[in-house]
């Protein structure tokens, strides 16, 4: 989909369909007012005759639009005026795009009122409009064999109105939003694939493909023998029970100054998590195909920084394998040695994410990183703590944690900090090894982070637990694309100040 920014009166914009918003109380906002005047009061008359109530989620397509530059007019409900905030605007925009997608309309002009006091400057209004429009058109890459529904015809979307002086900034923000949307689609498509298709090798090939599409992006994939040479004993302990070979993916993007310390992004790439010998309950086990969402976020993020040519050095590291039960599989009580030489007693083979991450985080040191951020669907305990609305952030650097939380607010992809003090690490004591891989039920999301913290001493590091946010469970089951919007905002800010 192509995006354009426009300025001036929406009533004069040319296209197949103009989209405006209407509040519940029939009071016309600025844009709707301009349309009403161009139509000599026809819009007011239509509302007075109770043809459209303006409730959130409602839309009405008018096949004729006299007085306008567009052939048709789509009314979208904005809900009550006092309650018109960012969320209501997002809902209205999604409703609009969904309604357009049900028609054969190709060129739309969207002129929804901008919510006041929502911290939406021109650039964020434009970026989020592009991201959200594209997300509303996303269709799951399913493997259904029936007749494919026609893809939506919508191809050109004009967003506005912007002040004429703001047009250059708006155009750039639309391009950013469009690139974020494309990377989010890449992430969602990888995550929605079943575990028998999206294997560690498949994930690695996807990363290689991304590398081929961009200059300045170097992708290397290590096989099991090479992983062994790196002494990643914890990673190898997880993959032992699997017939699918593991992969260690490195993606290096050099867009910044030569020699400038990179930001290293680390992702959990478990392409299926059965729990191993500590086998999971059958209920909803299929959803453990999403256990590679952190890894897919890293691949998508490298795709994004390369597409936007951000002046930054960024490295992506993804440990990819399955967690399976087998005669050769790691057993509860087994003790293994991680890449840094510490011994770990694996009391629960279902706490595998931290095992592949600890070796990867240790490996990150080779890059002498400025910052390390890992993303992982790490614990069910995180879902208990925060539900599905916020990702968790745990960090050894309060400023970094704050930056991530603020990026999430701006990007509408929110995260919340959790404490990471030393007591939590003490829950990992083992009688037989330097530490155990689990710390009991209580504070499970934090003890998982405390385990990782043992490998990130001296690094500026943050861990994001995305177990509750990376996918939607139930009838709308699908990967969400989170936390890519948050990460994108963080990286774009880093690059452009
Ligand atoms: N991938 C799961 C975490 C998970 C569970 C994400 C449910 C989303 C929904 C992870 O590997 C896991 O199994 N964690 C265990 C850790 C426990 C054994 C300490 C968990 O959360 O139960
Ligand atoms: Mn697990
Ligand atoms: Zn897992």
pLDDT in tens, 397-425: 999 999 999 999 999 999 999 999 999 99
pLDDT, one tens digit per residue, over 307-325 is 999 999 999 999 999 999 9
Best CA proximity match to 347, nearest among 461, 468, 441, 412:
441
Length of the chain in residues, anyone?
Answer: 497
At a CB cut-off of 8 Å and minimum separation 6, what does 394 contact?
401, 417, 418, 419, 420, 445, 446, 449, 453, 462, 463, 465
Mutate to test the pocket of ligand 1, among 281, 330, 349, 380 (most ligand atoms within 8 A of CB): 380
| CA of residue 386 to ligand 1 center, whole Å | 14
Residue 116: CB atoms within 10 A of its CB come to 9
Which atom belonging to ligand 1 lies closest to the Cα atom of 439?
A: 19
For ligand 1, the distance from its centroid to the CA atom of residue 451, given in whole angstroms, is: 14
Burial letters for 208-241: b for 16+ Cβ neighbours within 10 Å, e otherwise?
eebbeebeebebebbebeebeebbbbbbbbbbbb
434-493 pLDDT per residue, tens = 999 999 999 999 999 999 999 999 999 999 999 999 999 999 999 999 999 999 999 999
Distance in Å, CA 437 to ligand 1 centroid:
12
**Across 200-204, average pLDDT:** 99
Residues spanned by CATH 3.40.220.10 within the chain? 2-162
Answer yes or no: is pLDDT of 280 > 90: yes
Give start-end residues of each CATH 3.40.630.10 domain in the chain. Answer: 180-496
Distance (angstroms) between ligand 3 centre and the Cα of 271 equals 9
Give, for ligand 1, the residue of 283, 295, 344, 350 to mutate: max count of ligand atoms closer than 8 Å to Cβ.
350
Looking at residue 497, its pLDDT comes to 81
pLDDT score, position 27:
86
Q: Which atom of ligand 1 lies at the shortest distance from residue 280's CA?
A: 13
Per-residue pLDDT at 417: 98
pLDDT, tens digit, for every residue of 124-137?
999 999 999 999 99
Torsion angle of alpha carbons 3, 6, 9, 13, nearest 10°?
A: -50
Q: In which band, very low, low, confident or very high, does the pLDDT at 263 lie, cut at 50, 70 and 90?
A: very high
Ligand 2 centroid vs 238 CA: distance in angstroms? 10
Closest atom of ligand 1 to CA, residue 468 = 8
Residue of 91, 254, 280, 365 marked catalytic: 280
pLDDT > 90: what percent of the chain? 98
- Looking at the domain covering 180-496, what would its CATH class be? alpha beta
Q: Give Cα 241 to chain centroid, integer Å.
A: 30
Q: Catalytic residue at 27? A: no
Q: pLDDT tens digits, residue range 80-108? A: 999 999 999 999 999 999 999 999 999 99
Closest ligand to C-alpha of residue 449 is 1
Cβ pair 92, 83 in contact under 8 A: no
* Residue identifier of the C-alpha nearest atom 16 of ligand 1: 351
Active site residue 402: no
Q: Whose CA is nearest to atom 17 of ligand 1?
A: 351
pLDDT at 237 (0 to 100): 99
Q: For ligand 1, pick from 237, 379, 382 the residue to mutate: most ligand atoms within 8 Å of CB.
A: 379
Summarised one tens digit per residue, pLDDT across range 36-84 is: 999 999 999 999 999 999 999 999 999 999 999 999 999 999 999 999 9
State mean pLDDT over 296-310: 98
Q: What is the pLDDT of residues 207-261, one digit of tens each?
A: 999 999 999 999 999 999 999 999 999 999 999 999 999 999 999 999 999 999 9
- CA–chain centroid gap for 53, Å, is 34
pLDDT above 90 for 364: yes
Q: Which ligand is nearest to the CA of 467?
A: 1
pLDDT recorded at residue 170: 98
Q: What is the mean pLDDT of the chain?
A: 98
Q: Which residue has the higher pLDDT, 181 or 149?
A: 181
Where does the pLDDT of residue 117 fall: very low under 50, low under 70, confident under 90, or very high at 90 and above?
Answer: confident
* Domain boundaries 2-162, CATH class: alpha beta
The alpha carbon of residue 211 and the mean position of all alpha carbons in its chain are separated, in whole angstroms, by 20
Catalytic residue among 354, 410, 454, 494: 354
Closest CA to 125 of 299, 271, 5: 5
Ligand 1-lining residues (CB < 6 angstroms): 273, 291, 348, 350-353, 377-381, 383, 438, 444, 467
Residues 10 and 18: beta-carbon distance below 8 Å: yes
């Amino acid at each position: 989909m192509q995006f354009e920014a426009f300025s001036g009166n929406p009533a004069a914009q040319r296209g197949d369909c103009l989209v405006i918003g209407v509040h519940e109380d029939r009071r016309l906002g600025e844009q709707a007012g301009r349309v009403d005047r161009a139509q000599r009061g026809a819009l007011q008359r239509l509302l007075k005759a109770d043809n459209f109530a303006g409730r959130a989620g409602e839309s009405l397509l008018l096949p004729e639009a006299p007085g306008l530059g567009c052939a048709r007019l789509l009314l979208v409900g904005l809900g009550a005026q006092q309650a018109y905030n960012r969320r209501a605007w997002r809902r209205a925009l999604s409703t609009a795009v969904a309604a357009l997608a049900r028609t054969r309309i190709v060129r739309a002009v969207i002129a929804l009122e901008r919510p006041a006091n929502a911290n939406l400057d021109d650039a964020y209004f434009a970026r989020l409009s592009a991201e959200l429009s594209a997300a509303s058109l996303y269709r799951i890459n399913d493997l259904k064999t029936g007749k494919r529904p026609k893809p939506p015809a919508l191809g050109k979307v004009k967003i506005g109105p912007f002040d004429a002086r703001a047009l250059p900034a708006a155009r750039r923000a639309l391009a950013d939003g469009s690139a974020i949307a494309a990377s989010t689609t890449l992430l969602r498509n990888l995550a929605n694939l079943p575990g028998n298709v999206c294997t560690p090798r498949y994930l690695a090939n996807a990363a290689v493909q991304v590398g081929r599409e961009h200059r300045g992006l170097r992708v290397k994939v290590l096989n099991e023998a090479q992983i062994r040479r790196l002494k990643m004993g914890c990673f190898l302990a997880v993959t032992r029970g699997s017939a699918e070979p593991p992969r260690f993916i490195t993606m290096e993007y050099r867009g910044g100054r030569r020699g400038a310390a990179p930001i290293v992004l680390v992702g959990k790439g478990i392409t299926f998590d059965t729990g191993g010998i500590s086998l999971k309950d059958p209920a909803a086990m299929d959803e453990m195909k999403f256990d590679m969402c952190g890894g897919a976020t890293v691949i998508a993020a490298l795709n994004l920084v390369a597409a936007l040519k951000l002046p930054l050095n960024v490295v992506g590291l993804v440990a990819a394998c399955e967690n399976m039960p087998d005669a050769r599989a790691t057993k509860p009580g087994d003790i293994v040695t991680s890449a840094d030489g510490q011994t770990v007693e694996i009391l629960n083979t279902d706490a595998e994410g931290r095992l592949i991450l600890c070796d990867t985080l240790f490996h990150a040191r080779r890059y002498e990183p400025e910052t390390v951020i890992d993303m992982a669907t790490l614990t069910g305990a995180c879902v208990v703590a925060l539900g599905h609305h916020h990702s968790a952030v745990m960090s050894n650097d309060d400023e970094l944690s704050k930056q991530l939380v603020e990026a999430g607010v701006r990007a509408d992809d929110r995260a919340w900090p959790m404490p990471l003090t030393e007591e939590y690490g003490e829950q990992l004591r083992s009688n037989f090894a330097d530490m155990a891989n689990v710390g009991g039920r209580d504070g499970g999301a934090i003890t998982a982070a405390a385990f990782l913290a043992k490998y990130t001493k001296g690094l500026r590091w943050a861990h994001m637990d995305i177990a509750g946010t990376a996918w939607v469970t139930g009838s709308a089951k699908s990967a969400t694309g989170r936390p890519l919007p948050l990460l994108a905002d963080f990286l774009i800010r880093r690059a452009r100040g």
